[in-house]
Amino acid sequence: MQSLTLVDLGVGPYVHERCSTRFPVYTRGNAGEVWPEVAYPLSISLTRAFDDPMNAAMVKTGLVTNAELVEGSGCAAGVFGGYMYLNLSLSRVLAVRSPGVSIAENDALYLGSEASAPPHVPNKADRSVRASLNAIRYMINVLRTRSLVELQADQRMVSEWKRRVPRLLEADDQALLATIRSLIPVGMQLFSRHLEVTGKAGAAVQFLSTFCEKQLDDRALALSLLSSIGDVDSAAPSTALWKLGRSVAASPQLTSAFDQGLDGLSERLAECEPSDFPRDFETFLDDFGARGPNEWETASQTWGTEPRLALALIDRLRLAEEKQDPVARALGLTADRKAVTAETRARVSWPLRKQFDRALSAAMLFSAGRERSKTTVVELIHVSRLLSRELAGRAARRTDDGQWEDMWFCMADELDAYIADPAAFADTIATRRATRQALSDRVPPFVFEGEMPPVQSWPLRSQAGSESRLAVGESITGLAAVPGVAEGRACVVTDPFDPGDLGPGDVLIAPLTDPAWTPLFVAAEAVVVDVGGQMSHAVIVAREFGMPCVVAATDATTRIPHGARVRVDATAGTVTLLE
């Protein structure tokens, strides 16, 4: 079990874990997708009361031992300067121990901006014959897997928790707090499952990519074979929002209500003549209310807690062109993928076709499973979010200037005292809130080695990238994630719930993309993301929609002016400013 303390970061005390000396390089790659903002003390300290599921998942692969992870929770991943990081050194060591996998390929899969990371410093302990043999057994197990029935059982369990929420919200403070705490070990189990499936998805995609490279001299072919595989949970909200957007576009009354802006929209919709929209929107919130930016953080708003956020997405999708219908596009893309698969399989020599079939089948199974297991975790987190917001709201109402998020500035061991007397924590909460704001105002290092650089050295968000805008004809080179070429107006969006004037024909330029961004993909011609690897959310969803996508386009959101015309060559991985 791990303990977490507050550390003075020069801008005030906040959550900051101990860095590993054995595995010293950390990255925001992938971690920034699931936890883009500064973490709250309560969320992190509650989970640190349990054994780290990331360490456990890595040990389960057989590629690393418990003895190598003795430095604690900050070894595989941790919170530094308030931000979540993954350990890049450790993933590189796993690559060294996996036959046929290079460090560069490992970095591209999970990190994307591998050029920004320091080179790996070899250690004699990196190599292990036993671990390499375990890696072979692990890969054989991955290739032999035919189904993930355990994910269905997890879904049923979470559905039961969701059904119980209305009754649980009626409990007194102590019973409510006890229920919230009881959800944490359940969440840890689901998270462990997600990590296990994620690891196997990465292994399967690596194996398929290597097979295509060695047998067909085309490593990138693997991504085409995984395009529009269907049954990807994180793409499902887009289809539902698209239908809602079409119903708005088809109704003069609903269109008029949206044309007047988001302020007062809910009230105007209620005054419209009877339509199916309110009922359909409520069904959407029941199905996808757990989704939103920073959805792994219980203190964050989601579509379910703040429906206006979902209405903002519908407002953009109602203006999209019919050709962008994700269902219709998926049908064509699936047919294209099947044709590419048949053509590729015919090129594979007969003795190796069974190996190809197994590799492709495993990559498809675990890629979809990764998104499903993630969705299940997020839905359980939402149950905890709803219960926590109720408890936090009760406490806030017992103080003169209480805010609903006050409770999240407490540490886990302070929670009982806070619920008993929230007013006594007023000064403590104010100090921690100010520290969190100071951290939020700055851009944390994407990669660091050894120790986190002083917070005061981080660039201010208000100034980041402003001095290095692209000139006409200049390009940014990133990772070619989903092939294709598109030209259009650059629409820089930094908040998925404030998409601005994103419209048909635009190229979406985003800092990162968790599932809350997915619906905006439908309205765009191409997607360019500051960070991300081949297993990032942006790539998985863009593959489903068949849209050109470049990730790891460092500082694209600050170097590309909003409104400029750009050309995205997602086959070469370049984004060029045209005018």
Question: Each residue of 314-353: pLDDT tens digit?
Answer: 998 998 888 888 888 777 778 888 999 999 999 999 999 9
Res. 137: pLDDT tops 80: yes
Between CA 143 and CA 108 the distance in angstroms is 22
Q: Cβ contacts of residue 574 below 8 Å, gap of 6+? A: 475, 476, 477, 478, 550, 568
Between CA 293 and CA 312 the distance in angstroms is 13
Res. 204 pLDDT band, cuts 50 70 90: very high
Q: Which residue in 488, 497, 462 sits closest to 577, CA to CA?
A: 488
pLDDT for residue 465: 59
Considering the entire predicted model, what is its pTM?
A: 0.91
Least confident window among 219-223, 385-389, 437-441? 219-223
Between CA 330 and CA 549 the distance in angstroms is 16
Q: Determine the average pLDDT of the residues in 498-524.
A: 83
Res. 400 pLDDT band, cuts 50 70 90: confident
Res. 394: pLDDT tops 50: yes
Q: Determine the average pLDDT of the residues in 39-63.
A: 87
Res. 234: pLDDT tops 80: no
Between CA 348 and CA 479 the distance in angstroms is 27
Q: Determine the average pLDDT of the residues in 138-160.
A: 96
User: CB of 46 within 8 A of CB of 15?
Assistant: no
Res. 302 pLDDT band, cuts 50 70 90: very high
Between CA 190 and CA 200 the distance in angstroms is 15
Query: Hey, is 151 helix, strand or coil?
Result: helix
- For the chain, domains (ranges, CATH) are 1-143+421-464 (no CATH), 145-255+285-400 (no CATH), 466-577 (3.50.30.10)
Q: Determine the average pLDDT of the residues in 275-289.
A: 92
Q: Determine the average pLDDT of the residues in 359-368.
A: 94
Question: Each residue of 215-232: pLDDT tens digit?
Answer: 999 988 888 888 877 767
Torsion sign, CA atoms 408, 80, 493, 231:
negative
User: CB of 295 within 8 A of CB of 514?
Assistant: yes
Res. 467 pLDDT band, cuts 50 70 90: low
Q: Cβ contacts of residue 51 below 8 Å, gap of 6+? A: 1, 2, 188
Q: What dihedral do alpha carbons 318, 320, 322, 325 form, nearest 10°?
A: -90
77 phi and psi angles, rounded to 5 deg: -160, 155
Q: Which residue in 488, 483, 485, 543 sits closest to 513, CA to CA?
A: 543
Q: What is the CA radius of gyration of the chain?
A: 24
Q: Which residue in 491, 471, 478 sits closest to 559, CA to CA?
A: 471
Question: Each residue of 71-121: pLDDT tens digit?
Answer: 755 678 889 999 999 999 999 999 999 998 888 888 876 666 556 788 999
Q: Which residue in 198, 208, 206 sits closest to 366, CA to CA?
A: 198
